[in-house]
Structures are given as structure tokens and as C-alpha cells.
Structure 1
């Protein structure tokens, strides 16, 4: 069966990439996002797509049903469910479009399959309860997950909530559980090392600047042998802590020794910064971050997009490998 997919909150096309990687039969009949910069990147990679720069709430039921889809892939705004976003839940206006979709799920004529991604924290929200109640009302079977790319052999942390759901009029080989699953049925082995994503001859423009080095003690530093990296957020390169890992060619022993010398000076002083400069700490390039988020090597970011825009878009995107594996389960 050739499926017809509606991709909502399509961003830079991570769901599109995941569908392609899954090798399932089907086509993205329409993609919808209100972010014009993300849409520019999407069209750069999928120029023949039916991409709509629209507010989802502006789509009428008739307009949506005319797309004749049987599958929805979506990643609604996550800010209402994060601590940094004040966790306003259903009271955050950014949930309005998703609540609109939930209210119409029973009116989509041919909808059979759903995959939804969001941030960890969504599972505790009122909006999640409304979503699950609607799935039950519409007689969907579903499974919720909290998964990290490291679960599928990718050396990156990006813990996210996922829900896959399908109508009960067909047998689902996948064995559901009532609780949220934290792994997939398949064993993917240990993650690869970071070396597999590294570019050669990276420009000095990616070196960590002094204003970040002065807080060097909070940086997450990794080497090519590392089998992990921190979650990359849209604030990567702008803040020192919690926005993503930085890379050095120096060995762990050299890093330790360098910090021991640096910490003899007051943190943040010129001497402290100059000592840490010996490590040549650098940011991961957008291409390297794309690799850690499992985008295909053919995927490109247009030169018209600034570096800041690149990192912001990547920080809001999905891990392609995780979604691809979930799609295989969904259509099993």
C-alpha cells in the first residue's frame, strides 16, 4: 500500500527525511509550517514538495480532508512543556494549533496512522491527556515512548517523547505496553564514536570565543573517541552551559592537565582564558550536527541561511534515525 502523508509543523523536513529512510511506500502529499526560514531550507532539499507556509488553525476541515491522506507526522511546538518555556501547558497560546488538530481527529476521513514527537515533559501535560483521550475516542491503538538517539546507536543525547498510533481495524504485530517505553524492541548496539561525523579542516570561525571560554569549566568537552554528545539546542554557540558539546583534538589527559593549570587562575580572567585556548576548543559545524541528528549526507543547508539561523533550526528539529525506526514499528 502506498501511503499518503501529511507532514505538520514540518520545520526543515526531519520527518520527510525519516520517511525516506524508513523505505516505506508512500509520499508526502503536503507539508505545513509557519516558519519562513525553515520552509526555505525545506524547499532547498525537497524542491518538488507541496509546502504551505500556513498557520495550521487557518486550514479548514474541508481543505485538510481534500489532501486525501492516511498518515500524519507531526512535531508540535515544545515550548509549552519545557521548564525554560515556563511550562504553561494548555494555557500557552502555542498549543492552540495542536489543540485544534486534536479536536478534529475524529473528522479526518481516511486517517489511519499518526506519529507525534515532542519534548520530555509533554508526557506529564494536560495536552497529552487530551491527545490520548482523543486517540481512545477515535479507536486508535497507541504506544508512547521516551527515547534518545543513543537508543539506536547514535552518539548523541536528545531525549524526546514520541507517540505512534494506528486505527484498530488492522492487526498490529508490534506488542504494545501500557507504560511509556524507554527502548525499542530491537538491539542497536553501542553508539558509534564521534569520529564518524567529523569534518576535515574545520575553519577557525568555529573556535569557541573568549566570552564562552571564560566559563570553560561548564563546557561539555568531547574527543573523537567519545561515544556521546550533549543535546544541541537552538542556543548553541551563544551560551556555555547546556546547549551542546564542544570538540577538541586534545586527549582527555591533556584536557585534564590544561584545566588544572587554568584553574590556578581566577575563573574568567585573561590568564584562565589564554590557558584554555591551548585546547583549540571548537563548536561542531552545522553539517556535523546534522550528522549527529541522523540527517542523510545528501541533506544541505543553503548558503543564504546564517550560522545563527542554522543552529536555531537544528535545535528545533528531530532525530531522523529515531523517527525512522518508530515508523517501521508503526507500519509493522
Structure 2
């Protein structure tokens, strides 16, 4: 780290703060600094954030209500943010800059030149953002404001986390010091250092999990599309906000049974009609279940002492996690940003 990073106590503005993944990443990075204000319009996310970071000031506001004078008054030098991803997804109809959910980020881009104290920016978004018009607007603006920047498309598996969640990241700093790696004009697909291979799921899976997480018949009847994980797996699929509500493309399920038993159960099931009572009965023996919120938190590299308050429902937990970020990836990017 540079001398500046070692001696300076940075002041951070966390925008679209959600449940505090960026805050967790900052703490994990070990850089001196303080999240001065976190801003999010989601009251449920703010409740979770506050329970884990009771000393952080949270603004439950639309980001477009923040003026440049107000931000300057906070004397923050760093912005960490994860703007809404829906404008850049198929489910969001790929409306890009024409999606009203992009308005707050476009507003931030517009006022960036008025934010006199900002020296560091880290932004996360969904894979696909890199092909958007909003991305082009953002990059053009940070160039105009004399920021050096580097874009990444990073999956947690590349930093030792057994979960697929490829996301776009951009780190930028005011043009006063060089990067400590070879910057590329193209988007980088990995970080500048090497990491160990992903750990096994056994490290994060709970024991004696409640039966309420077992897949109900309505899900088992579609058991032919499940992505099944085991304790010795070093992978899992991306968990979305629809996890446990829909099956396809929302995340993996897990079983304590070994692969031979699972194969035999599926052989029995496949000798029946998919979705039939016999099909469901054949799969019940392997006790397929959803990952618990605690397990997903650990897969997303949240600290072990991170908790959801008892007031938050299971459905809300999954929705909040699906909208959150991978703490490990962002922590490593923060380290690179402040080298």
C-alpha cells in the first residue's frame, strides 16, 4: 500500500448500499477509513444494514435528492456503489438509458464534476452493463474528470469462492498516481494476482438444517432442471432474488446424499413420467434442500458474524441477497484501488 493509504483515514459514501456488502468489503480490505453515510431507498435493506452497522448514518432517500453541495459537505473522498442492474438485463427488457431505474445513476454521472473531494470510485453492476450506453456515458464522464480507470468482469471463483456470480466492476482514481499493475484498455477478466482454488462447500454448509428448507413437491416435480451441489463441491450457481420462489436459473440446491445415491434416485425417477407422483417420490429420498440465507451469506464472503434481524422474513432474506454483492471480489478490488 502507498503511504497515503497507510496514513490517511478515508471518508466513504456508500450509494445503493443495500445490506452493506460494500461496507463489509471495505472492512475486509483493511484500509483506514469510515463509511460516513450509506444511502438506499429500500427500508428493509436499511434495517438489515443498521442492525449490522449500528454506528453508520443511513439516508433512506432517493439518490437523486442528494445535491452536489450536500455530498461535498460530507467531505467524502471515496464513492462505493452498486447502481440498479435491471436496465441492463434481459428480465429488465434491456432498456438501458431509457429505463427510469437508471435515472439515479445518470444523475450521479451528471454531477460528478461538481464533487470536488472525490478521488476514488468503485462501481459494480451486472454482466452486460459493459455493452450499455450508460456505461459509455459513465466512462466518458470519469475521463473528463481526470480519473484513471480499469474495468473488470470478475467471477468469485477466480478469487477462491465456490460461487458463480460474474459481475462488471470499474475502479477509478483521480489522475495523481499510477496503477500498481499493467492497466489495459480492454476489460480484464481476472485480477492482477493469483488466488487459491475455491474451497469446498463443506466449509460453509450448516448441519441439522430445518426441514423448512427441503424442496416441496411443486419443486421436486421439476427435479430434472435442478443444479445439485454436494459438500465436496467447489462450485455453485449464482443466487438471484427469486431463489426459493422460482427454480430455473435462480441458484443451486444441496443434498447430504452422496452422488451414487442421487444417481440411483434419478434413475428411478427417470423411469417414470417427469412431474408425476412416482417421480416426486423417487427424489424425496435424497432430501434436496435450498441453501440457507446464512450459507449464501458465507458464499458471498460476508463475515461470519453478519446476521439478518428476526424481523426479516425468509423471502426478504433471499431477495436482499440476490441484490447484493460478493464481498471478497470487492475487497480485493479496493486493495488494488488504494495500492
The answer to whether the 8 Å contact 1:6/1:73 transfers is: yes
C-alpha deviation, 1:165, in angstroms? 0.3
C-alpha deviation, 1:282, in angstroms? 0.5
Map Cα deviations across residues 146-190 of structure 1 (whole Å, 9 max, x no partner).
Answer: 001101000000010000000112233232111100111111121
Structure 1 match to 2:4 = none
Name the SS for the 1:144 alignment partner: strand
Q: Does 1:100 align with 2:107?
A: yes
Q: Does 1:206 align with 2:213?
A: yes
Q: Does 1:283 align with 2:290?
A: yes
C-alpha deviation, 1:118, in angstroms? 0.1
Identify which of 149, 169, 178 aligns with 2:156: 149
Structure 2 match to 1:15 = 22
Structure 1 match to 2:322 = 315
Identify which of 31, 48, 52 aligns with 1:45: 52
Structure 1 match to 2:261 = 254
C-alpha deviation, 1:320, in angstroms? 0.2
What pairs with 1:109-188 in structure 2 (closer than 5 Å)? 109-188=116-195
Identify which of 74, 92, 115 aligns with 1:67: 74
Q: Does 1:238 align with 2:245?
A: yes
State the distance in 2 between where 1:226 and 1:271 align.
29
State the distance in 1 between where 2:301 and 2:197 align.
16
Give the structure-2-normalised TM-score: 0.97
C-alpha deviation, 1:251, in angstroms? 1.2
Structure 1 match to 2:3 = none
C-alpha deviation, 1:299, in angstroms? 0.5
Structure 2 match to 1:78 = 85
Identify which of 242, 265, 273 aligns with 2:272: 265
C-alpha deviation, 1:62, in angstroms? 1.1
State the distance in 1 between where 2:234 and 2:179 align.
34
Map Cα deviations across residues 34-66 of structure 1 (whole Å, 9 max, x no partner).
Answer: 000000000000011110000000111111111
RMSD (CA atoms): 0.7
State the distance in 2 between where 1:222 and 1:66 align.
49
The answer to whether the 8 Å contact 1:157/1:228 transfers is: yes
Map Cα deviations across residues 196-248 of structure 1 (whole Å, 9 max, x no partner).
Answer: 00111100000011111110000100100100000000000111211111000
Identify which of 298, 304, 308 aligns with 2:305: 298
State the distance in 2 between where 1:248 and 1:176 align.
43
State the distance in 2 between where 1:78 and 1:171 align.
30
C-alpha deviation, 1:260, in angstroms? 1.0
Q: Does 1:328 align with 2:335?
A: yes
Give the structure-1-normalised TM-score: 0.99
Structure 2 match to 1:3 = 10
The answer to whether the 8 Å contact 1:216/1:240 transfers is: no
